[in-house]
Structure 1
Amino acid sequence: MRAPAFWREDGATARLLSPLGALYDAIARKRLAREAPRANLPTIVIGGLTAGGDGKTPLAIALARRLKAAGERPALLTRGYRRRRGGTSSFVVDLTRHGADEIGDEALLLARVAPTIVGADRLASADLAQRLGATVVILDDGFHSRRVAPDLTLIVIDSDYGAGNSRCIPAGPLRAPLDAQLAAADIL
């Protein structure tokens, strides 16, 4: 799916959809502000300002590689975007058994670098990572859900796209109001 062209400009379509964007804005602002439980491991959360394509997964991979080179044992946590495998239990990606159609392509990319756990319950996934011997967890695209409190939050920004027209979905590409996202980030 491609982002609509009007997300780049503040034209008539964006203004027409702005009441829905304002509703999305209010809900997303509350989600970003809510308290989340802490994992038992240091937690790095990676997020993006806009819907899709910011480069979160490549950053998660690069960060996992750097942590491994520094002697850490990172585990990558993901919901398994576009996965078909049902259930709510967290599980470890097995490259010899799981395919992209079952768990999503991002999980397979992550699993090539470090142990990767797919699950909707991020705290349960972090607990599983700890049992597997991880020393740090990296949440690929965990910024907006606020299911686990971050110790460090990294926001990826597409240098070409930026914040688009600076409106929230569906009037624009933002997953939450720009000011709320920037306030919750440690590093851009």
Structure 2
Amino acid sequence: MVGRSARYAGRVGCVVNLRDEGFGLAKHPEVAYDLLPDDQSGVYAWTVTTDALDSLVPENLPRIPSGSVVYIGKANKLRKRAPHHRWTSSSSSLRRNLAGIMGLQGLWLPRASKPRLVQEHEMALSLWMRSNLALSWRAVDEGYVQFEKLLLSKLTPPLNVDPPETELQWWVYGQLQKLKDEALPPHQ
């Protein structure tokens, strides 16, 4: 795992205190949404708050215990970009990766480059995210792109798979490809 600091080496799916990195406490997605700054750039992190995600991972792969950072993203406007629990899967890598792991049904829309989920699965995923994930962030005026890259290299969150590096990320990537391959064709 080249490029990862000694502090985090070998800790895929590990519980990390993001307060050490200047983040606030992780909050329920709806509470976090109300607190996200409107016009502030920065980096956000999604943390799993239960063992629900770990139960979906095959036994031969590293575990994702409650408290693990599972996804990190950057935003030039945190309030607009960070609340993935309010989006559709066609506009959220986090949602597509979760949908792949959960075996949800994808749907290709006309002229779409990424599938979204059938409506009942979009709603179920949003509910699952609200029940099992928390959102935290750190406002960063300049250098937020570099800060995100630094955190990604330190933590290798399992749902950040562009590009996949760890065994767990490769498995998530494979589940995403399966979601795309098995997505329903667009309604003509």
Q: Which has the higher Rg, Structure 1 or Structure 2? A: 1
Query: Which is richer in helix?
Result: 2
Structure-2-length-normalised TM-score:
0.26
Which of 1 and 2 has higher RCO (CA within 8 Å, sep 6+)?
1
TM-score (norm 1): 0.26
